[in-house]
Amino acid sequence: MGKFVLIDGNSIAFRAFYALPLLSSASGVYTNAVYGFTMMLMKVLEEEKPTHLLVAFDAGKTTFRHQDYQDYKGAREKTPGELSEQIPLIKQVLDAFQIRYFELENYEADDIIGTLAHSDEAGGMETLIVSGDKDLLQLVNERVQVLLTRKGVTETERYDVKAIADKYGLTPKQIIDLKGLMGDVSDNIPGIPGVGEKTALKLLRQYPSVEEVVEHADELPGKKLQEKVREYKDQALLSKKLATIYTGVPLEFSVQDLELPPLDTNKVAEIFKKLEFRTLLNRLPGGKHADESDQAAAAPSEIAYQMVTDQNRSAAEGLLKQDDLAVFVETTEDNPHRADVVGIAVSDGETHLYIPVETALHWNEFQNWLADRHRRKLVYDVKKTKIALEKIGFQPAGFQFDVLLAAYLLNPSESQYELSELAARYLQSSIPADEEVYGKGAKRRALEGEELAEHLARKTSVIYQLAPVLLKELEEAGLSELMCDLEMPLALVLAEMEQAGVLVDKDRLNELGIELKESMDRLTVEIYDLAGTEFNINSPKQLGEILFDKLGLPVIKKTKTGYSTSADVLEKLAPQHEIVEKILHFRQAGKLYSTYIEGLKKEIRADGKIHTRFNQTIAATGRLSSTEPNLQNIPIREEEGRRIRQVFVPSEEGWYILAADYSQVELRVLAHLSEDENLREAFRKGADIHTQTAMDVFGVSEEEVTPLMRRQAKAVNFGIVYGISDFGLSQNLGITRKEAKEFIERYFATYPGVKRYMDAVVEQAKKEGYVTTLLGRRRYLPDINSRNFNQRSFAERTAMNTPIQGTAADIIKHAMVELDREMNEKKLRSRMLLQVHDELIFEVPEEELGVMQELVRKVMEGALPLSVPLHVDVNYGKNWYEAK
C-alpha cells in the first residue's frame, strides 16, 4: 500500500527562515532556511517512513487566480534576498536525498499537492501533507491528513477529519467557505469586510456554505451583518473561488515515479559538509561519511554495567590500567559543600563500572588510580568532582577533559548544559534527565542499588562519547587552547578557593546588624515626623498615599495598583522633599540588614567560614559569578554598604587580608582593541582616564575639570563599553537626550578609533554570527540580523561589549591560574580566597606580605600583553574593608 508524503516547499522554507537566526557558513552563505527545512525533512523521513515523497514549490508570482483577481497575494512583501537565495540550496539537499521536487508555471504548490493527494493513483495510499498553510486542510479526507507546523520548524499538529471538526466544527471542504467569508490577509483574499473567524464559523454552523449564507442574508442576526453580506456577496463568492485548491494540474509524472530510493548517506554527507551541518551529519546512519569522532553511538535503551563489590574488585582492576576513562561522581545535591557522595561510575565506552561509596573507600587500587595524575580522566564538572571526592578523603588528579566546560565554551549563551541535554544536542541520543529520575524539589527521591547504578552508568557512557565530539568542535572553533590552558586549570584553582572559604567575624557581623537596626529606627522616627503620621514605610500603597496625596509631590509613574514608589521614582523626587532621601536611606539599610547581615549568617558553616560557589559556566562573557552566597554583590558605593567587608577576616592569627584590584581594565582593553591612539596615550602616560576624557571632550585644562565634568566623562567612558545610547546616558546623568547625544558625538570625535572599532565589531558579528575575545573565546549572537529592532539593537550592544568584558575576564582568569602555579612553586602559605569582578582577595601571613605584594602585582599586570599597561592596586589590612 505504501505511504505518500507531500511537502509544501515554500511554506516550510519560509517558516524555517523566520524561526531560526540568520545562520551562515564560513564562506558567508546564508543557511538558516536550508537547515530548518532539512531538520523538518529528516524528522518526516524518520517518523513517517514514507515510501513515496514529493516536494512542491511555487513557480512564480503569477498564477491562473490572477485572471480572476489581479490583487491576489498583492499585499505580500517581497521575499527577502536572504531567503530566496537559499531555495536553490534546499533543492541541492533534495537532490542529495534523491527526492523529487516539482513546480509549474501558472500554478501554486498547493495545486500540485492537491492534484497528487486526490489522484486515483494515490487512492490506495495513506497520504500526509506537510505545510504551514491552513488552506491545505481543505484536502483532508479519510485517507489524507495534514501536518501543520506550529511553533518553530519541527513542532507540528496533525489534522484528520475529526481534528478539523473538533477545532472548527467544520468539514474539511468548508475550510474554503471559511476563507470565502473571512478572507485571508496573507493571500490578499478580501472576504466580507468586518467578518472575522469567529463570525464566519458561527454563520457556517447555521448555513454550511458561502452560497447558503448569501442566500439567507435577510435572516442573519443584526442589520449591519445583513447589509455587509448583501453588499459583498460577489466578493465572498470570488474569495471562495480563490481559496479553492485546483486538483487538475497537468503533471508529467505519476505517483509511482515518486518512490523513495534507499538513502545514499555519502551523497547526503557531502552536502551537509558543504553547508557545515555538523549536527545533522551526526544523525545520518553509520558509514564512511564522518570521522570516527563524529560517529557517536546513541546510548542504548538498556545499558550493561558491573557493580563493584569487595568480592569482585580484582576483576574490575584491569579497566583502571587504561587512560581517558570517564568518571562521574553523584551527589545528593548540586552544592558539593553541602552534599554527600552517593556513588561513583567509571567507563571506557564499553565497560561501565558502578562503585558504591563504601566499596570505593576500601579499594586502594581505585584510590591510587584516582590520585595518579598520569592516568587521564574525562569528567563532567571537574570543580564539583574534585570537591566531592576530596570531601570523602580522596586526592583526585589527572583530570584531562571536562564536557561541561567544553559545551559552555562552544556556546556560552545556552541556559542548559545537563548531560541529558548535551547527549541530545551532540550525540542525538537520549538519556533520562536527573529531574525525571530523582524528581524535583521536595519530591526528590534518593536512588540506590541497581536503579542508581544504571543511571550513573548511562551518564558516564555519555561523558565518554561526548569527549571526542566536543574536543573536535573545540579544535575547529579554535577553542581547545582556551579550554586546556585556562578553563580546566582555573576550575581546579576555584575548587581550592571554595574549599578554603573565607572566615567571618561573627561579633562584627552582629555589631553591624545592631547599627543598621538603630539607623532604621532613627530614620523611622524622622520619616514619621516629616510625614506628620505613622504608616508602614515598606507598604508601597501607604507610602504612595503619604508622598502624593498628603505631601502633594508630583506623580511620576503609576502602576495597576496605584502610585509607583520604585527606586528610580524616589531618586527623581529626592530633591523635592527631605522625606524622600530618608526613605531611600531606610530602604538601603533594610536591604543591607536582610541580604547581608541575616543572609550571611545563614551561610556560615561549622568551621566559621563562608564557602561561596564560583560559577564558571553562567555568564556568556566568560566572567565568573558567585552564589550561595553571592559575594560579588556586596555594595561598594555607600559607606554603610562598604562596611560589610569588615566581617571578612583572615582565618589565622597574625595573618592579613590582601586585595589586588585591576584599575579600569575594561577601558584598557578597549584602548588595545580599538587601537585609538589618544586613548592609548592617556593610559601610557598614567593619566586619570576620566579626567583626561573630560579635558578632551570639553576642551579644558586639567585644572578646569570640575567634579561634574569628570562624573559625566566617567559615565560615558564606561557607557561606551556597554554600547550606551543617548537615552541611556541621559537617564544616567539626568540630562536631555540632545545633550547626551552631543556628549557621545564629542567623545567619538575625540577617540575616533573607538567608533571605528565599535562599527567594525558589529559588522563582523553580522557576517560571522559571533564575536571573540583576544584569547578566542566566542559568543554567538543569533539576533544580530534580526528584523526586530529591539532584539537587533541588544545584539549589537552585546557585540560591542563582549570582546571587551570577555577579554577582561580572560585576563583575571589567566592571572589566577598563574598565581596559583607560582604560589605553589614558591611553597607560599598564602591562599587565594575570592575573585570579585576585577579584584582578587588573599589571606597572607605577615612574613609573606612583601613577597605576595610583589608577586601579585607582577603576575596580574603581566597576565596578557596589551598595547597599554595594565595597572593593579595592591593593599592589605586586618579585614577586607581595611585592604580596600
Q: pLDDT tier at 29 (50, 70, 90 boundaries)?
A: confident
pLDDT tens for 520-543 read 999 999 999 999 999 999 998 999
The residue type of 19 is A
Residue 825 has pLDDT above 80, yes or no: yes
Q: Looking at residue 844, what is its pLDDT?
A: 97
**Is residue 567 within 8 Å of 299, Cβ to Cβ?**
no
Are 601 and 692 in a shared domain? no
Whether pLDDT at 608 is above 90: yes
DSSP state of 259: B
- Residue 873 phi, psi dihedral angles, 5° rounding: -95, 125
Q: What are phi and psi of 32, to 5 degrees?
A: -65, -40
In three-state secondary structure terms, 842 is: strand
Same-domain pairing of 347 and 387: yes
Under the banding of pLDDT at 50, 70 and 90, the label for residue 302 is low
**For helices 726-733 and 737-750, what crossing angle results, to 10°?**
110
Neighbour tally for 212: CB within 10 Å: 13
Last residue of a domain, one of 202, 228, 258: 258
Question: Alpha-carbon distance 681 to 565, whole Å?
Answer: 46
Same structural domain for residues 509 and 472?
Answer: no
3-state SS track over 531-553: HCCCCCCCCHHHHHHHHHHHCCC
Alpha-carbon span 128 to 44, nearest angstrom? 10
Would you give the end-to-end CA distance of the chain in angstroms?
A: 81
CATH number where 23 lies: 3.40.50.1010
Q: Is residue 288 domain-resident?
A: no
pLDDT of residue 75: 54
Q: Which of 587, 610, 633 is the last residue of a domain?
A: 610
- Mention every residue, 6+ apart, whose C-beta is less than 8 A from residue 84: none
Q: What single DSSP character describes residue 598?
A: I
Q: For residues 220 and 218, give the distance between their C-alpha atoms in angstroms, rounded to a whole number.
A: 6
- The identity of residue 454, as a single letter, is E
| Per-residue 3-state assignment (H helix, E strand, C coil) for 644-657 | HHHHEECCCCCEEE
Q: Residue 171: which H helix or E strand, with range?
A: none
Residues 547 and 413 grouped into a single domain: no
Annotate 818-847 with b (16+ C-beta within 10 A) or e (fewer). bbbeebeeeebebbbbbbbbbbbbbbbbee
**SS3 labels along 471-488:** HHHHHHCCCHHHHHHHHH
Which of 576, 577, 571, 584 lies closest to 734, judged by CA?
Answer: 571
Confidence (pLDDT) at 297: 38
Least confident range from 18-32, 153-167, 640-654: namely 18-32
Could you tell me if 454 and 520 lie in one domain?
no
| 770 torsion bin: left (phi>0), alpha (psi -120 to 50), beta (else) | beta
Report d(CA 792, CA 768) in Å as an integer.
Answer: 15
Between residues 511 and 223, which one has the greater pLDDT?
Answer: 511
Residue 724, CA distances (Å) to 114, 718, 801, 814 in order: 54, 9, 10, 29
Note whether residue 779 is domain-resident: yes
The answer for residues whose C-beta is within 8 angstroms of residue 282's C-beta and 6 or more apart is 290, 294, 295, 296, 426, 427, 428, 469
Q: What is the pTM of this model?
A: 0.67
pLDDT value, residue 633: 82
Cβ atoms of 843 and 816 within 8 Å: the answer is: no
pLDDT at residue 299 in the model: 38
Residue 134's domain spans which residues? 3-170+246-258
Q: Give the CATH number of the domain where residue 579 resides.
A: 1.20.1060.10
Query: Got the DSSP string for 333-363?
Result: SS-TTT--EEEEEEESSS-EEEE-HHHHHT-
- Assess whether 538 and 467 both reside in one domain: no
Q: Is residue 594 part of a domain?
A: yes
pLDDT at residue 817, rounded to an integer: 97
Query: Looking at the structure, do residues 312 and 446 belong to the same domain, yes or no?
Result: yes
Average pLDDT over residues 90-102: 94
Domain membership flag for residue 639: no
- Helix or strand or coil: residue 130? strand
The grid cell for 329 is 561522581
**How many domains is the chain built from?**
4
CA-CA distance, 335 to 333, in Å (whole number)?
A: 6
Question: Of the candidates 534, 514, 509, which has an alpha carbon nearest to the alpha carbon of residue 524?
Answer: 534
Task: Measure Cα distances from 263 to 23, 42, 267, 268, 309 in Å.
Answer: 27, 11, 9, 8, 47
**pLDDT at residue 97 in the model:** 95
C-alpha cell at position 186 = 496573507
Q: Say whether both 555 and 435 belong to one domain.
A: no
* Phi then psi dihedrals of residue 378, to 5 deg: -105, 130
Last residue of a domain, one of 586, 610, 634: 610
CB 882 within 8 A of CB 673: no
* C-alpha grid cell, residue 874: 595592591
What per-residue confidence (pLDDT) applies to 68? Answer: 67
The pLDDT score that the predictor gives to residue 152 is 61
Q: How confident is the model at residue 644 (pLDDT cuts 50, 70, 90)?
A: very high
Residues 19 and 166 in one domain: yes
Are residues 513 and 407 located together in one domain of the fold?
Answer: no
Phi, psi of 42 (to 5 degrees): -70, -35
Q: How far apart are CA 507 and CA 505, in angstroms?
A: 6
Q: Indicate whether 467 and 506 sit together in one domain.
A: no
pLDDT digits (tens, 9 = 90+) for 478-496: 999 999 999 999 999 999 9
Angle at 610 between CA 608 and CA 614, to 5 degrees: 160
Q: Give me the count of residues in the chain.
A: 884
Tens digits of residue pLDDT in 609-635: 999 999 999 988 899 999 989 988 887
Q: How far apart are CA 534 and CA 546, in angstroms?
A: 10
Q: Could you give the CA distance from residue 235 to residue 484 in angstroms, rounded to a whole number?
A: 69
Q: pLDDT at position 308, please?
A: 87
Q: Please name the residues in contact with 627: beta carbons below 8 A apart, sequence gap of 6 or more.
A: 612, 613, 615
CATH of the domain at 383: 3.30.420.10
- CA 515 from centroid of its chain's CA atoms: 42
CATH at residue 797 = 1.10.150.20
Listed residue (100, 45, 403, 128) closest to 254, CA to CA: 100
**Mean pLDDT of all residues in the chain?**
87
Q: Which of 432, 448, 437, 454 is nearest to 356 (CA)?
A: 448
570 lies in some domain = yes
| Domain membership flag for residue 622 | no
526 and 466 both lie in a single domain: no
- Band the pLDDT of 301: cuts 50, 70, 90: very low
Which of 67-71, 111-115, 336-340, 462-466 is least confident?
67-71
* pLDDT tens profile 383-429: 999 999 999 999 999 999 999 999 999 989 887 788 988 887 888 77
Alpha carbon 7 to chain centroid, angstroms: 32
**Tens of pLDDT, residues 262-289:** 999 989 999 998 888 877 887 787 644 4
* Within-domain flag for 884: no
* Integer Cα distance of 322 and 351 in angstroms: 12
Does residue 289 sit within a domain? no
* Distance of alpha carbon 541 from alpha carbon 809, whole angstroms: 43
Q: Cα–Cα distance between 476 and 490 in angstroms, integer?
A: 22
